[in-house]
Structure 1
Amino acid sequence: LTEAMREELAPIGNAVTVVEPGSVRTEFLAPASVRRSGARIADYEPTSGALIETIAARNGAQPGDPAKAAAALLRLADAPEPPTRLALGPDSVRVVEDKTELLAKELQEWRTLSVSTSYETFTRAGGSTCTVAFPMSK
């Protein structure tokens, strides 16, 4: 959605950036800020239950400095050509790198099926034609 907004608003001079913040040491994870249902469902203990424990353990140990994060956002706001995405914090950079690696791997593994849906010859916007040989390789 944000990337679409970026494309739509660029012609009128508005920039849009997806900010992907990492953990910042604030009161966000403090017990007073976190509300949970008293009931816990046993089937979810390996997933959401583990997340609840991780959140509790990370409170006060988040790597991000809120003042530095705010300064980075101000720099972003003043950037003449801001990026489409900004991973903010080393933990966020790691998550984006891991996701990028996973996407590249899956794209390569499923490439043949992914490209198999086109007509063998099709017309591009602008009128030129393209002939596709299957399977397409990188």
Structure 2
Amino acid sequence: MKKQTWLITGVSSGFGLELTKQLLANGQTVIGTVRKDTTVQDLMAQYPETFDREFLDVTDATGIKTLVDKVYQKYGTIDVLVNNAGYGLFGAAEELTDQDVAKIIATNLTGSIQMIRAVTPFMREQQAGRIIQLSSYGGQVAFAGNSMYHATKWGIEGFCESVAQELAPFNIGVTIVEPGGARTEFRYGSAQVAELMPEYDNNPAHAFLAMLDPANELAAGDPERMATRILESAAIEPAPLRMVLGSQTLDSTIQTLEKRVADFKKQTELAASTDF
């Protein structure tokens, strides 16, 4: 792996932490964002020359621009941006508060959009760069009880697919990563759950409770292997637009998309009936 400068959001746990560990072990420079000063202190001590911990709340658009300017001024390049910061929110749409809705959009969707917008001028000027957007299996497949998470992931996938076309002429690649379930804190620690209503008991909206219980079967995804595949993607030319991680995830995604296409094909006459 050639030496590069990576900017990664949300490195205190999960994929962000695993990516950072692997990159630092390979001699790469990593600027990793966190929200608390108690996190990743071990990496700061172990890699004082190549790891730069920065504080950032991705809901702060001004803070994002300030950070990106600072990184570029210090390092002279941002070779790879990994938009990783985000979280899961579970509960029926009715169970969510207005604050729940606003916060997850600001974090998972708007935060990622603003990070990409902030690095674009610098990558465009250097005529090179790679943007890796952590999405999810939930960016293609939807389940009850996860509506706002899906809204943010479907939204960021549409944004990235459009931006990938805009940035390709500048030699900037965009890859959307769609992991399935993994044994990270996302599922077994950081997931947020709405105040549940008894009206939704025995409803598909609460099926997620079994998934979040570590006493049940653990997720199949290995975070270390997934992180390795993500890192490898940065060297693939041209950049893959999407990467699905997990065999069960790929099977389910294909089944969902095939059903969607079949449903569209049934509408041939209906669609044509509205033409002049």
Question: Normalised by the shorter chain, which TM-score bucket?
Answer: 0.7 to 0.9
Return closer, same or farther for 1:58/1:13 CA change in 2, 3 Å cut-off: farther
Identity fraction in percent: 28
Q: Which has the larger radius of gyration?
A: 1
In the alignment, does 2:175 pair up with 1:17?
yes
In the alignment, does 2:245 pair up with 1:88?
yes
In the alignment, does 2:184 pair up with 1:26?
yes
> SS in structure 1 opposite 2:243?
strand
Moved more, 3-12 or 99-108: 99-108
Letter in 2 for 1:21: P
Q: Is 1:25–1:64's contact at 8 Å kept on the other side of the alignment?
A: yes
Letter in 2 for 1:20: E
Q: Over the residues paired in the alignment, what is the CA RMSD in angstroms?
A: 2.1
In the alignment, does 2:197 pair up with 1:41?
yes
What is the Cα deviation at residue 68 of structure 1?
Answer: 0.5
Return closer, same or farther for 1:106/1:43 CA change in 2, 3 Å cut-off: same
Q: Is 2:226–2:245's contact at 8 Å kept on the other side of the alignment?
A: yes
In the alignment, does 2:225 pair up with 1:68?
yes
Letter in 2 for 1:66: P
Per-residue CA distance 1:50-104 (angstroms, 9 max, x = gap): 1122221576711111110011001111111122211111122023202211111
Q: Is 1:17–1:85's contact at 8 Å kept on the other side of the alignment?
A: yes
Return closer, same or farther for 1:58/1:115 CA change in 2, 3 Å cut-off: farther
* Greater strand share, structure number: 2
5+ residue gaps, structure 2, are 1-158
Question: Relative CO higher for 1 or 2, CA cutoff 8 Å, sep ≥ 6?
Answer: 1
> SS in structure 1 opposite 2:173?
coil
How does the TM-score come out when normalised to structure 2?
Answer: 0.39
In the alignment, does 2:168 pair up with 1:7?
no
Match of 1:97 among 232, 251, 254: 254
- Equivalent pairs counted in the alignment come to 117
How does the TM-score come out when normalised to structure 1?
Answer: 0.73
Q: Give distance in 2, aligned partners of 1:62 and 1:103.
A: 26
Match of 1:54 among 206, 211, 218: 211
5+ residue gaps, structure 1, are 120-138
* Runs of 4+ displaced beyond 4 Å: 57-60
